[in-house]
């Protein structure tokens, strides 16, 4: 990944460093993935949920706005160059969901679309306020993206989960 732009212009105009796109499950680390991926599109074609799309230079990107990843493994088994490699890691990826302040319950509007869509029941609405606010259990969240596309406020995003130091 490129070094962050620390110029005065970037500071004044709020320019941020580009973040790596969300890759399919079991993708190698970004640099290794870019080296291995031939942009053949086999993983995109094999995805039964249609949540993988061709991104920059034809390489696959996971778009959770299109639906959820069910971790079926079809993309990984279709990847001949092994840019997606289930044997390299136990977890499909290190993504987690986060909820921004534009979330409807945080604006005083009752909504639980994300909770209803979550197959892992990682999103709860504890009754601690007049309108319950969503919380995400990081131990249950798989980063599948089921909650992202159903959010009417587009308040949910997936990002890399912080890795624990040994």
Percent helix, strand, coil in the chain (nearest 5)? Answer: 30, 15, 60
The answer to whether the annotation marks 37 as part of a ligand binding site is: yes
Alpha carbon distance 132, 154 (integer Å): 18
Residue 119, burial from CB neighbour count under 10 angstroms (0-12, 13-18, 19+): exposed
The answer to whether the annotation marks 118 as part of a ligand binding site is: no
CB 136 within 8 A of CB 126: no
The answer to whether the annotation marks 144 as part of a ligand binding site is: yes
The answer to whether the annotation marks 114 as part of a ligand binding site is: no
The answer to whether the annotation marks 43 as part of a ligand binding site is: yes
Alpha carbon distance 99, 158 (integer Å): 9
The answer to whether the annotation marks 40 as part of a ligand binding site is: yes
The answer to whether the annotation marks 47 as part of a ligand binding site is: yes
The answer to whether the annotation marks 69 as part of a ligand binding site is: yes
CB 43 within 8 A of CB 60: yes
Annotated binding residues for [4Fe-4S] cluster, written as ranges, equal: 37, 40, 43, 47, 69, 72, 75, 79, 141, 144, 147, 151
Annotated binding site: 37, 40, 43, 47, 69, 72, 75, 79, 141, 144, 147, 151
């Amino acid at each position: 990944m490129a070094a962050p732009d620390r110029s005065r212009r970037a500071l004044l105009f709020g320019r941020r460093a580009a973040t790596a796109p969300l890759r399919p499950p079991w993708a190698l680390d970004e640099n290794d993935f870019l080296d291995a991926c031939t942009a053949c599109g086999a993983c995109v074609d094999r995805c039964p949920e249609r949540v993988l799309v061709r991104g920059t230079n034809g390489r696959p990107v996971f778009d959770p706005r299109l639906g959820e990843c069910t971790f079926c493994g079809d993309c990984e088994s279709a990847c001949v160059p092994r840019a997606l490699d289930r044997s390299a890691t136990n977890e499909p990826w290190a993504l987690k969901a986060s909820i921004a302040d534009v979330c409807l319950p945080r604006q005083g509007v009752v909504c639980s679309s994300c909770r209803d869509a979550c197959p892992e029941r990682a999103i709860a609405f504890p009754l601690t306020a007049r309108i319950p606010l969503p919380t995400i259990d990081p131990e249950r969240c798989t980063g599948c993206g089921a909650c992202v596309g159903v959010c009417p406020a587009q308040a949910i995003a997936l990002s890399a989960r912080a890795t624990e130091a040994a």
